[in-house]
Every structure is written in structure tokens, then in C-alpha cells.
Chains A and B, each alone.
Chain A
């Protein structure tokens, strides 16, 4: 019998969490850009789920095999050090897509939607099917050196992007697709390998800026981000539709969805009674995505500007300057007001008792 778990402040489905970064041959990764040997970048629309429960964040994303030989890679910034990286469930991502697809009508029984270098510390190495996954800890220089040592080439915007993430959380997940191993396994182009990353953290966030890696400012970026929380989350930035992200769905999760998710491999952390499902569609230009998605599902309504990348940790906010002239001006206004009130009071006839008493 599964133990019912209390949902933390945020559980979510992040559909674009994997950020493509570097690589050599011809592959594709979930939620990220893909950079080929000639520097060309292909973007796939991807789906990722990230959940949060009792201080544990769960990312489930999929790496798609794009054919070719050799290896390709990607890097995903993480909010903390994962405790496990395992193969993801078989239907979680597809089930989320079906849940929020406007064409789907459950009552009609519609068919489900298709689906280091010297400096970097290797915290974990895992092989999932044809994917070689390494969790790294290090700054931008460390990650860059690790990538080079492992035969990957980072795109020209990577120095700034790596700094953007490393200053907040120097944890990265590098995934390299071994195309030869994929071929030996009979994987076809487009076949995905779901990966479930478990991360204890107090501050979950969804990396969005990484989706624009290697792309020109006018290139289009598309991805789906699912959030599953106890209650409606507060998001920063707000998905207005004009800033590259759009709110496509926000409603209590259906019991059937929760039951389906909960029944998938490694997904028993999903509550079966209630949760809030949010879908944020990334649909903008690479130039618009200069931020990440900060989420506060605690009910406090205060998503972190640091998690969104609007402010860096340790940034000093200059204190308000004491301005004597402004203070004196304010006091003058107050004094003038008091004098005016006093004069009006004196001029006004008393209603307490008749004049002449």
C-alpha cells in the first residue's frame, strides 16, 4: 500500500528542463538546443515534468535520439545536487500532454497524444539506455573545460549563460547520447529516453534561459512546462504571453491524472487526492528568454527574483539615501497643513453652544 505523501510547496512538470548545450555530432535533447558540428542548432519542442514534495524536486524529461553516429550532449542547470538519476516513467510526459491538450476529450475515449576538467567535480555518473549522464559541480570555467575534455563544443553564448546559472547553483547535469549504443538497442530517430532526476532543494525553479542557448536572438523557442503543486503557484515572471511564456492551463488536477501519474514507474510521490496543474508554454524568441521561471507554491505568493535570474545572489541593493531636503520639505507640508487646520477650526462657528453664552 502506498503511503500517502503530503505535497510540498511545489510539484511540477517542467517540460523543458533540459538545456542543450554542447555537442559534437547530430543529436537532440529534451528541452534544449542542439548544436551540431557545424554550429547549427535545432530546437525540439519538448515536455518535462518537475514535481516537488517534502522538499524534494522531481524532474522528468526526455532525451530524443536524433540519429547519426558518435555522441551529442546537453547540459541542464539544476537547483541542487540530485540524490538519484534514474530512468523515468513510461507514460508520465505523454499523460500530461493529453491532460492539457485542447483536442483531447476523455469522455470520448480519445487516443492519447503521441508522444570535468580539473575543476569540475563529477558527483554522479549514470547510464540510462544509450544516455551517459554526469552530474557536475563547478563554475563556468570548470564546466567549459569538462566539456572540452569530453569532446563537446560549447556555443559562443555559453560563457555568459554558464555564469548566469553557476552563480546561483553550480550544479549541472550533462547528458551525452551514445548514438552507436542507441543503434545497437534498436532505437529509432525520435525515440525518447525519459529521465527522472530527484533533487532535494528549498528553492525549485525551472531553467528557461538555457533553452535559448546557441540560438540567434530572433530564433523561435518552444517548449512546455508543467507544474504540479498543492495550490495555484505564484510565478515570476508572470506568463503574460508577451514575454515569451504563456499560461495555457491552470486548474486543479483531475483525479484520473493524479492516479495515472502516481501509477507510473518512480512516480509514487505524486498525491492521488489533490494537486494543482499548471502548464506554461514557452513560445517566444531566444532574445526574450533572458530569465528562468521562479515558482512559489507555498501560498506566500513570493517567487524569488534570484531564482528567476533577475537578481544575482549577493547583489547589494543600495539603501535608500537620507535626503535632508526632502525631509524638510515634507515637514514643511505637514506644518502648513496643521496651521491650515488650526485656522479653519478657529474661523468655524462652534456648534456646541449658542454664541453669546
Chain B
């Protein structure tokens, strides 16, 4: 009788431990950055649309295969309007604005707090007009 109770207790404890562990792991994974790769080739982004959840860090890995420099600047309309007339030659101070020299790879990690969409654009002269525009679609949840 005592043996059965002991076994049942052990089983229950083990089950709780497993469930707790799984839950903790799930929480941890939801906080791991989601990795999204974007390639630049012939002055175009690929893909041009990426989907990300709100509240979870997202690491963008941007690879520039071109022999010329590019930028990847993500933000709202007002932000892009500032950059269209801006004069910063290099962006490396803000995670939403990065320069990617020719033939290099750059990473940046962002968290989008609210659902919606933002554009990512290369604001070097003529590049936006040439088609270097993409969209980050931000969806609720993680």
C-alpha cells in the first residue's frame, strides 16, 4: 500500500516537473529572437515582405551580394521622409538603421511592440526609386 502511494507520488511529481519544464522552455523560446534573412541582389530586397509577431525580438540578417553599398532602414512614413532628405553617410547607431557595405552581411535585432506594418527602404540616392522597398507585416502574438 505504501509502495503504491510512493509510486503514485513519484509519478505525479515527475509529471509536474515535466510540465513545468516544458512550460519554461516554451516561455524561453518565445523570447529567443526570430531570425529572418534578407538578401540584396541587383539592388532589390528578397523577400520584399516579411511577417513578424509583436513583442518578440526579431534578428534581421541582411546580406548584400552587390558590388555597391546599400542601406536597410525600417520605420514609419515620417521616419522614411526624414531619411529621404537626410545626409548621414553611414548608419550604425540605431538598430532600425543600418548600412551594409558591398559584399557584406549585417545583423540587427528589433522588437515591434504594436501590430501593423512598416517599410524597409534603402535611402541611398536613386535606390528607393529603383525598387529597394520592402514591408514588415507585424501581426499580434508571439
Q: Which A positions have Cβ atoms within 8 angstroms of B?
A: 35, 37-39, 140-145, 148, 153-160, 162, 214, 216
A153: which of B125, B129, B132 is its contact (CB, 8 Å)?
B125
Q: Cα distance A347–B2 when bound, in Å?
A: 112
B52 CB–A CB distance under 8 Å: no
Rounded to whole angstroms, the CA-CA distance of A140 and B67 in the bound complex is 6
B47 located at the interface, meaning its Cβ lies under 8 Å from any Cβ of chain A in the complex:
no
Chain B residues near A (Cβ < 8 Å): 41-43, 66-69, 102-103, 122, 124-127, 129-130, 132
Chain B residues with CB under 8 Å of A153's CB are 68, 124-125
Q: How far is the CB of B117 from chain A (nearest CB, A)?
A: 24
A164 → B minimal CB distance (Å): 10
Q: By the criterion CB–CB under 8 Å, are B43 and A156 in contact?
A: yes
Q: Which of A38, A141, A156, A157 has the most CB of B within 10 A?
A: A156
Q: Which chain A residues lie closer than 8 Å to B126 at the CB level?
A: 35, 39, 155-156, 214
> Chain B residues with Cβ under 8 A from A35's Cβ?
126
Rounded to whole Å, the gap between the CB of B68 and the closest CB of chain A is: 5
A-B contact list, 17 entries, CB within 8 Å: A39-B124, A141-B67, A141-B102, A142-B67, A144-B68, A145-B67, A155-B126, A156-B122, A156-B126, A157-B42, A157-B43, A157-B130, A158-B68, A159-B43, A159-B68, A160-B42, A216-B129
With A144-B67, A156-B43, A160-B42 given, name 19 new contacts (CB 8 A): A35-B126, A37-B125, A39-B124, A39-B125, A142-B67, A144-B68, A144-B102, A145-B102, A145-B103, A148-B68, A148-B69, A153-B68, A153-B124, A153-B125, A156-B132, A159-B42, A159-B67, A162-B67, A216-B129
Closest A residue to B130 by beta carbon equals: A156
- The distance in angstroms between the C-alpha atoms of A28 and B48, with both chains bound, is 35
The residue from B41, B42, B68, B132 contacting A154, defined by CB atoms under 8 A apart: B68
Looking at the complex, which one of B66, B122, B125, B129 makes contact with A159 (CB distance below 8 Å)? B66
Which 8 interchain pairs have the tightest Cβ spacing? A39-B125, A144-B67, A156-B43, A156-B130, A39-B126, A159-B66, A141-B67, A160-B42
CB distance from A31 to the nearest CB of B (A): 20
Majority SS of interface residues in chain B? Answer: loop
Contact A143 B67 (CB under 8 A): yes
Instruction: Give bound CA distance, A159 to B129, whole Å.
Output: 16
Given contacts A156-B43, A159-B42, contact A141 B103 (CB under 8 A): yes
Chain A residues with CB under 8 A of B132? 156
User: Could you say which residues of chain A place their CB within 8 Å of the CB of B129?
Assistant: 216
List the A residue with the shortest CB-CB distance to B128. Answer: A156
* Cα(A141)–Cα(B42), bound, Å: 12
A154–B42 Cα distance when bound, in Å, is 12
Q: How far is the CA of A142 from the CA of B41 in the complex (A)?
A: 16
Q: Is the beta-carbon distance between B67 and A156 smaller than 8 angstroms?
A: no
Whole-angstrom distance from the CB of A36 to the nearest CB of chain B? Answer: 9
Chain A contacts of B67 at CB under 8 A? 140-145, 154, 158-159, 162
Residue ID in chain A nearest B131 by CB atoms: A156
Residues of chain B lying within 8 A (CB to CB) of residue A216: 129
| A154 contact set on B, CB distance < 8 A | 67-68
Residues of the B chain whose Cβ atoms lie less than 8 Å from the Cβ of A158: 67-68
Contacts of A145 in B (CB 8 A): 67, 102-103
Which of B67, B103, B126, B132 has the largest count of A CB atoms less than 10 A from its CB? B67
CB of A21, distance to nearest CB on chain B (Å): 11
Closest to B43 in A: A156
Residues of chain B lying within 8 A (CB to CB) of residue A159: 41-43, 66-68
Residues of B within 8 A of A141 (CB): 67, 102-103
For the complex, what is the distance from the CA of A298 to the CA of B136, rounded to whole Å?
Answer: 57
Question: Taking CB as reference atom, which chain B residue is nearest A22?
Answer: B68
Q: Which residues of B contact A38 (CB under 8 A)?
A: 125
- Complex CA gap A143/B66 in Å reads 11
Give the complex CA separation of A37 and B89 in angstroms: 12
* A115 CA to B114 CA, complexed, in Å: 62
CA distance A198 to B125 in the complex (A): 35
Contacts of A157 on B, CB cut-off 8 Å? 42-43, 130
Name the residue among B41, B43, B124 with the largest chain A CB count within 10 angstroms: B43
Q: How far is the CA of A144 from the CA of B42 in the complex (A)?
A: 13
| B121 CB, nearest partner CB in chain A, Å | 12
Determine the distance from Cα of A142 to Cα of B66 in the docked complex, in whole angstroms. 11
A77 CB to closest chain B CB (Å) equals 15
Q: How far is the CA of A144 from the CA of B103 in the complex (A)?
A: 10
Set of chain A residues within 8 Å of B130, measured between Cβ atoms: 155-157
A144-B66, A144-B68, A145-B67 in contact; A156/B102 too (CB < 8 A)? no
